[in-house]
Structure 1
Amino acid sequence: MASRGGKEIVSRAIRMETKLKSVLEASVLEIEDVSHQHAGHAAVKGSEGESHFNVRIVSPNFDGQNMVKRHRMVCDELESGLHALCIVAKTPQEVAENK
């Protein structure tokens, strides 16, 4: 963890992980920061480098929800100035069926 002015700074990925695990009861959660692939883009400037993420999440809370509602559930929890978020959201049953 970095610090600024005596305060510890928690990365956006860690904040996202903490929130999604607790609120959506995620059994699988993978967060990949791909901001480096977008260096130099106008939207990245001034964002401290944490602007683009890929999220793979498995949650029983997605049961009965279509893909748009699942993505909204994830995005509603992450309203924090992200520029881009790629989401793969599945239920535990969907994961088991694809094995």
Structure 2
Amino acid sequence: MGFGWKTKAENAFFHFAKWTGFYSREKLEVILREGTGSPAALDALYRGELDILILPCSFALTAIEGGAPIRILSLCQIAAAVCLISRSQRPVARPEKFEGKRSRS
């Protein structure tokens, strides 16, 4: 199993599952391979170096739109973090400061 990222604490559950024997009890031989970015990880999948790849869905969607012969099997993240950013000249520090502001998404 490959990742499109360097190992981070938020992905500890993959390593915990291996450490506790979860994968072997399910008769899965899992080798966790740290990635160096989504494009490199996707290339490793194409070359047959990986059977399963976990990477950000936004990258997978972009790759699919570009003609990549891949399918998204599962989405693990229930919610994506977003940021509220305001200009320092007109800061938004409290909800009532939203009044009269324009937004683009």
Specify if TM > 0.5.
no
- TM-score using structure 1 length: 0.25
Q: Which has the higher strand share?
A: 1
